[in-house]
Amino acid sequence: MKSYYYFLIPDALAWDMPKLYDKRLPTECYTNLADVKVRYQQLREQPYNYETAFDYITGCPYARLTIGIARNNPRGPLKIVEIRRGINYLSDDFYGPRSDVNDKLLYAIARDLIEVVGVDRIRLFDDSLAMQLRSNDMHITEWRVPNDICSDLKFSRFTDKNNEHLFWIRDGQRIIETYADGTQQFRTIRNIDSGNLYVGTRSCAIRKYAVENFKRGCYVQPEHPQPGNQLDKLQIFQISEGRNECKFMPYDYAKEKLNASDYRSVYIGNMPTGYDLERCFRDFNLRSRPCAKTMHSLSVSDVVVMQRDGKEAAWYVDPVGFKDVSYLLPELHEVEAQRQKEQVQDEPER
């Protein structure tokens, strides 16, 4: 007769590399899934779960908080969920040599555990090498497995205004909405169907939500980004209201007088795939342009910042074309950081 119970390792790295740790927290055992959930929630946001320590052999981040199922049989314990660099992974053990595809009860218990704890990604083994391949690190929505153990998980797909994919969010996870003045709002996501979701307490059509965000100047990202997320950003700075000798002046005149403290952020949003400076100039000079009530049309002396694939560049709008002023970026970010409102809200609608 097989006996099953849950086990939880607060930090698996402390056991794998004992020389680096003075104290290793003991493995915890539970018979009740509700107790596992409570303990998981207590430990999940601990800073060590977000550290970027890598296994030098596999090149993958080490597992930290780990949850699994113990069995009183020769196959022993089976890890199910591992937190690696802040991301919930379905453990490699689940489809490794310790797993038992014929143990239906094991799979049923694992499915219940996964529904409670949640997983976002999986890394597949290459049996010929007996190690993980980083190229096979994928989001769980891309993985198809006959046992379908993740079928109870719900994910919502976020897109840009052109319906191009940005990222997935699992039910219960949060997004961060960032506005031009630095204000941020955290919102919990719940899936309705393939085209609709709850953003906080408000039901939205996914595509319409993306279009509205581009129009109102709202940049959306996951609270905990993952590999493969498309997080390109568009930001526009304009010289603050009042007299300024550089305002609306060509770059050749203004270049020796430019001061980041004269600028303020007036727009921020998710930059669509393939977006360029010419398209930006057209969009922000339309009568129906984004943020028409809070910023003037894109004009000479404005600075456009584009972040693509993690690389950032700044461009000064000239009477003809654009001038690269990326050297201003550190100062622009420093000034904006000082001006940001110290407000973080969870639910109120903007």
pLDDT at 255: 87
| Secondary structure of residue 97 in the 3-state scheme | coil
Token pair for residue 209? 């939500």
Length of the chain: 350
263: which DSSP letter? E
β-pair partners for 193: 196
Tens of pLDDT, residue by residue, the chain (350 residues): 468 999 999 999 988 777 677 778 899 999 999 999 999 999 999 999 998 877 766 677 889 999 999 987 767 788 999 999 999 999 877 766 667 777 888 888 999 999 999 999 988 765 444 444 445 788 999 887 656 788 889 999 999 999 999 999 999 999 999 999 989 999 999 999 999 999 999 999 999 999 999 999 999 999 999 988 999 999 999 998 777 888 999 999 998 888 888 999 999 999 999 999 999 999 999 999 999 999 999 999 999 999 999 999 999 999 999 999 999 999 998 888 877 654 445 555 54
The answer to whether the beta carbons of residues 52 and 61 sit under 8 Å apart is yes
Q: What are phi and psi of 270, to 5 degrees?
A: -75, 120
The answer to whether the beta carbons of residues 69 and 27 sit under 8 Å apart is no
Helix %, strand %, coil % of the chain (to 5): 25, 35, 45
- What gap in Å lies between CA 85 and CA 288, rounded to an integer? 42
Whole-angstrom distance between the N-terminal and C-terminal Cα of the chain?
Answer: 58
Judged by phi (left if over 0) then psi (alpha if -120 to 50, else beta), residue 301 lies in left
Which H helix or E strand runs over 26?
Answer: none
| Cα 109 to Cα 68, 123, 159, 226, 298, distances in angstroms | 10, 21, 34, 27, 57
